[in-house]
């Protein structure tokens, strides 16, 4: 966060996303004839391809089931809110009842004390 605030204070432009990790570089000029260097490049490209395939699969699953999952999640939140509000109302009623009992007890005790003082 601090770095971002410093960037904003210095009025520097936002850094673009680095696409370096998605590049598939060939071996350096000194390793062009090295089979292991080429094998590493092929392995890297296969890993990148698999990663992209998994991302596409996740997006397809999300497009198929994402809306329904979000609706179910929202319905669960609504039920949780309703339950919490009911619990809150019950608790407020218990507090109100307790306060009424306390007030009645104090009024009764006050009347008894006044009666005892007058006699």
CA–CA dist 18, 43 (Å, integer): 21
Per-residue model confidence (pLDDT) at position 22? 78
Average pLDDT, the chain: 93
Instruction: Provide mean pLDDT across the span 64-78.
Output: 95
Per-residue model confidence (pLDDT) at position 96? 98
Compute CA 53 distance to the chain's CA centroid, rounded to the nearest angstrom.
26
Higher pLDDT, 39 or 24: 39
- Lowest model confidence (mean pLDDT) among 1-5, 23-27, 56-60, 66-70: 23-27
CA–CA dist 23, 64 (Å, integer): 30
Per-residue model confidence (pLDDT) at position 89? 99
Per-residue model confidence (pLDDT) at position 7? 87
């Amino acid at each position: 966060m601090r770095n971002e605030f410093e960037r904003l204070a210095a009025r520097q432009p936002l850094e673009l996303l680095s696409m370096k990790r998605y590049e598939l570089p060939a071996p350096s000029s000194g390793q062009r004839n090295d089979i292991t260097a080429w094998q590493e490049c092929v392995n890297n490209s296969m890993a990148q391809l698999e990663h992209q395939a998994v991302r596409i699969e996740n997006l397809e699953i999300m497009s198929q089931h994402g809306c329904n999952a979000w609706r179910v999640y929202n319905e669960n939140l609504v039920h949780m809110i309703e339950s919490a509000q009911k619990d809150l109302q019950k608790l407020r009623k218990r507090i109100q009842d307790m306060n009424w009992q306390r007030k009645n007890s104090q009024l009764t005790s006050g009347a008894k004390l006044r009666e005892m003082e007058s006699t």
